[in-house]
């Protein structure tokens, strides 16, 4: 796994086909400084629940889309509570990257 090779944790963006998911996806990737920080510290994974049949058990409990998580790649544990917007993500990154 790439995250193990680079010794990075995972940033998971869990989406479906709703408009909120499309909006956060486009908004997130337009935020250059945020994307640079994510790419430096994490391996990013996009999961569309409409097209993926298996994923970690914690994600099965997600009922709000889009949702973002930070996960430990080695232990496969969530390092953050679910985040539902970019402001929540920014706050969580500040907390995790102190």
Predicted confidence (pLDDT) per residue in 16-75, tens digit:
999 999 999 889 989 999 999 999 999 998 888 888 666 665 666 788 889 999 999 888
Where would I find the H helices in the chain? Answer: 2-6, 19-30, 32-41, 57-60, 86-96
- In the sheet with 67-72, reading across from the earlier edge strand, the strands are 42-48, 9-15, 67-72, 77-78
Q: How far apart are CA 28 and CA 70, in angstroms?
A: 15
Domain count, the chain: 1
Residue 41, pLDDT score = 93
Kindly give the interhelix angle for 32-41 and 86-96, rounded to the nearest 10 degrees: 40
Quick one: pLDDT at residue 50? 83
Helices and strands per DSSP (H, E), number in the chain: 5, 4
pLDDT attached to residue 57 = 57
Q: pTM of the entire structure?
A: 0.86
Domain span at residue 25 reads 2-96
State the pLDDT at residue 39. Answer: 92
Q: For residue 1, is pLDDT > 70? A: no
The per-residue pLDDT for 55 is 64
| Domain at 59, CATH number | 3.40.30.10
State the CB neighbour count (10 A cutoff) for residue 15.
Answer: 20
Closest CA to 12 of 66, 87, 88, 91: 66
């Amino acid at each position: 796994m790439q995250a193990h090779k680079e010794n990075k944790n995972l940033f998971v963006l869990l989406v479906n086909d709703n408009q909120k998911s499309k909006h956060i996806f486009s908004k997130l990737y337009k935020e250059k400084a945020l994307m640079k920080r994510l790419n430096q510290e994490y391996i990013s994974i996009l999961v569309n629940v409409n097209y993926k049949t298996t994923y970690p058990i914690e994600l099965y409990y997600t009922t709000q889309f889009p949702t973002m998580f930070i996960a430990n790649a080695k232990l496969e544990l969530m390092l953050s509570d679910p985040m539902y917007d970019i402001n929540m993500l920014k706050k969580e990154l500040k907390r995790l990257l102190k």
